[in-house]
């Protein structure tokens, strides 16, 4: 038997929707808010990219 654990340790999720929040400290809540805001910005940037791609495709195929 090996002295090392072969299974990789699962990294705890930074936040789960609907997760119990009462046990978190103010600092932990602020950190999670920052993480979620950064994720929202990332999602909005991807949405804008997809919208530009869609608009370009529509403009290309609507030429007649």
- Domain boundaries, given as residue ranges, for the chain: 24-64
C-alpha to C-alpha distance for 11 and 18, rounded to whole angstroms: 19
Which of 34, 31, 36 has its CA nearest to residue 17? Answer: 36
**Residue 40's pLDDT band (boundaries 50, 70, 90)?**
very high
pLDDT over 90 (residue 38): yes
pLDDT in tens, 5-37: 677 776 666 788 899 999 999 999 999 999 999
Q: What pTM did the predictor assign?
A: 0.63
For 11-50, give one letter per residue: b (16+ CB within 10 A) or e. eeeebeeeeeeeeeeeeeeeeeeeeeeeeeeeeeeeeeee
User: Phi and psi dihedrals of 54, rounded to 5?
Assistant: -65, -45
Q: How confident is the model at residue 64 (pLDDT cuts 50, 70, 90)?
A: low
């Amino acid at each position: 038997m090996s002295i090392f654990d072969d299974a990789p340790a699962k990294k705890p999720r930074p936040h789960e929707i609907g997760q119990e929040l009462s046990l978190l400290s103010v600092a932990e809540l602020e950190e999670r808010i920052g993480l979620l805001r950064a994720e929202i910005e990332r999602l909005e940037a991807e949405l804008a990219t997809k919208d530009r791609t869609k608009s370009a495709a529509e403009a290309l195929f609507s030429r007649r």
